[in-house]
Copies of this chain bind each other. A is one copy, B any other.
Amino acid sequence: MTDTVIRNVRPLGADPSDIVIRDGRIAAIGPDAHIQASPDAETIDGGKRLLFPGLVDAHTHMDKTLMGLGWYRNDVPPSLLAIIENERALRRRMHIDSHQQSTRHARKAIATGTTHIRTHVDIDTEIGLAGFEGVRRTQEDLKDALTIQIVAFPQSGMLVRPGTVELLEQALKDGADVMGGLDPSTIDRDPVRHLDTIFGLATTYDVDIDIHLHEPGELGAFSIDLIAERTKALGYQGRVVISHAIALGSVDDARFGHLVEQLLENDIAIMSHAPGGLRPIPEIKRLRAAGVRMCTGNDGIRDAWGPLNTPDMLERVFIMAYRNNLRKDADIEELIRIASSGGADAMRVPDFGLTVGATADLSLVDGETHVEAVISRPGRHLVMKAGRITARDGESVV
């Protein structure tokens, strides 16, 4: 394979640069790096565009987007249990094909510069493993264009629905990448047994853990305590993500400090997509200032939960900035890092970034600055995964 050189692009915080790509990896990057390319290299003119690293959607639900199925008019009551119930009923009625839907989602994600996704796939006693199997096919079909990590996720509860644990275990045997969990007290009504089961399965199959935690205040804080205890006892430091972690926005300062200590001690990462609503949410800047590892994601996209999210991670960064009231360029640049290397780190993606030796996952975007591009969000000029072009002019070419 001959080298590819992209000339004259602007990486975040660095001088205009060239990138030499060899065997899918960055062989050189920097001003005038093109001289390090082989003589027969194929050259792409970057046209002074912005260079972004691969964008990482570290929390979404590819199996249940309704994209492409006609507009779903949402009239669901705003309670978690009602939403989950409505979603199962809709799934029965519409016969949603998770392979088709996750493929649609994937192509839109690729088109906007996303190179890695962690997706929580519903597993319950109604759908069984059908949703999981569909997303597995998408994972395999598109593996050269998009890295998909699948979380085995008990969306409808685990202990409260006998038979779910066995299905989750089967998914892990069949290749699910990560063990999921959900609100140990408010959904599953037994925090200790919920978490012991999840950690038990994860350690048995040697997979990482990613737990949805919507529980607010002291109840959610207690769940974080329990997660931290198990992370420590089982040597799972660096392998656990708590998604949403709403409690981190609704406890007093002393309790917040104690929770942060536990997160740091056990190297637990927090996923926040900066949810809407009038209740307090985890403060991203404060968590980052304390040294907590963070990632983000688009959560459910145009599904029975609501229509507002899109597959575009630059739109997610915009939402994070707006919701957290972060207006300084330096703060928004940190959000871009959370939406790229922060996610890669949480997903434990090796060789990620815009450095020599890393996989050539990147996109070229028109704009004055990276922050300006987060606000204007133009169609991506070019997207690459491991040195291969996967999207041009805002459209997937895979």
Contacts and interface: CB of A to CB of B under 8 A. Distances in A.
A283 B278 CA distance: 7
A74 interface: yes
A214 B325 CA distance: 15
Contacts of A73: 329, 369
A189 B74 CA distance: 47
23 contacts: A71-B372, A73-B329, A74-B329, A75-B328, A75-B329, A75-B330, A76-B327, A76-B328, A78-B327, A275-B325, A276-B321, A276-B325, A277-B325, A278-B281, A278-B283, A278-B324, A278-B325, A306-B327, A307-B327, A307-B375, A308-B375, A319-B322, A323-B323
A27 interface: no
B277 A307 contact: no
Interface string A359-391: 000000000110110011000000000000000
Contact of A276 (B307, B308, B323): B323
Q: Counting chain B CB atoms within 10 Å of each CB, which of A283, A308, A332 scores highest?
A: A308
Nearest to A72: B329
A318 interface: yes
Interface in A268-282: 275-278, 280-281
Contacts of A275: 325
A332 B323 CA distance: 18
Nearest to A280: B278
Given A71-B368, A278-B283, A305 B327 contact: yes
A308 B308 CA distance: 18
Contacts of A128: none
Contact of A321 (B280, B308, B328, B371): B308
B277 A368 contact: no
B276 A324 contact: yes
A310 interface: yes
A70 interface: yes
Contacts of A302: 375
A217 interface: no
B375 A322 contact: no
A247 to B, nearest CB: 14
Interface in A285-332: 302, 305-308, 310, 318-319, 321-330, 332
Interchain residue pairs A-B with the least CB separation, the first 10: A306-B327, A277-B325, A276-B325, A276-B322, A71-B368, A73-B329, A71-B369, A74-B328, A308-B322, A75-B328
Contacts of A324: 276-278
A394 interface: no
A346 to B, nearest CB: 23
A175 interface: no
Contacts of A75: 328-330
Given A277-B323, A278-B283, A308-B375, 18 more contacts: A71-B372, A73-B329, A74-B328, A75-B329, A76-B328, A78-B327, A275-B325, A276-B326, A277-B324, A278-B280, A278-B281, A278-B324, A305-B327, A307-B327, A307-B332, A307-B375, A308-B321, A308-B322
